[in-house]
Amino acid sequence: MDTLDWRALAQEKQTLAVYMGVAGLERFRQKLLEHGRAASTPFALVENGSRPEQRVVTGTLADLPGLARLHNVQSPSLLILGEVASLADTLHWFGDAPLGAPAAAVADAA
């Protein structure tokens, strides 16, 4: 993970998609924040995508690892990070509605 161009990845107005990265969410968030990505950047974390048991967790980069722990997100999962992820609730068409959490619950999960 240290060989990635974090400055380029942290640029705004782009969408990042990371497959099978659940174990590294804390470090991923830390590196992006260190290199300038806004803590308010939305994400959608899709667990078991396109399967009957699909779940989607949404939030902001600041709360990414906490929400993943709160909802016990497991692999296989796809992380979508960027402004497009804010459309998850609006464009929801498959499976249950996206999950989120109040800030207090995220803090408790940390």
pLDDT in tens, 8-23: 999 999 999 999 999 9
pTM: 0.82
> Looking at the predicted structure, is the pLDDT value of residue 108 above 60?
no
Strand order in the sheet with 55-60: 16-19, 77-81, 42-47, 55-60
State residue 101's pLDDT score: 56
How far, in Å, CA of 48 to CA of 101, rounded? 20
| 79 and 17 Cβ atoms separated by less than 8 Å | yes
Summarize the confidence of residues 68-97 as an average pLDDT.
85
State residue 50's pLDDT score: 86
> Looking at the predicted structure, is the pLDDT value of residue 51 above 80?
yes
Domains and CATH numbers, the chain: 6-86+98-109 (3.30.950.10)
